[in-house]
Amino acid sequence: MEKTTFHYQPMCSAPHCDAAAVYKVAAPWSNGKSRELKNYGLACEAHRDSQLALAQLHRQGLKLAEGETIGPVGLYELAAGKRDAELARLPDH
């Protein structure tokens, strides 16, 4: 795997945590024309499960506009220089 340096260091979104983020918490979103990831925050190794649970709560309360679809929230491995669409999704557990 290619090693690259982050231009900036993404941090975990959990309150009072200043650890480096390892995962993006996101759900695949589409409006029928374009697809992207709806971002629910970033998580370090220690907070990935709690951040995922929090995002799943937010996801349930989300109101979608007509034509919009959103998939289940999951964890995506952050990788420097990669677009959202290229991030690897961790298997759901």
Residues making contact with Zn ion (CB under 5 A):
12, 14, 17, 19, 44, 47
Smallest gap from Cβ 91 to Zn ion, in A, equals 21
Asked if residue 58 lies in contact with residue 39, where contact means CB atoms within 8 angstroms, the answer is no
Smallest gap from Cβ 65 to Zn ion, in A, equals 32
Q: Which pair of structure tokens corresponds to residue 38?
A: 């709806």
Element containing residue 45 per DSSP (H, E): none
Smallest gap from Cβ 16 to Zn ion, in A, equals 9
Our CA angle for 76, 61, 75, nearest 5°, is 10
Asked if residue 11 lies in contact with residue 21, where contact means CB atoms within 8 angstroms, the answer is yes
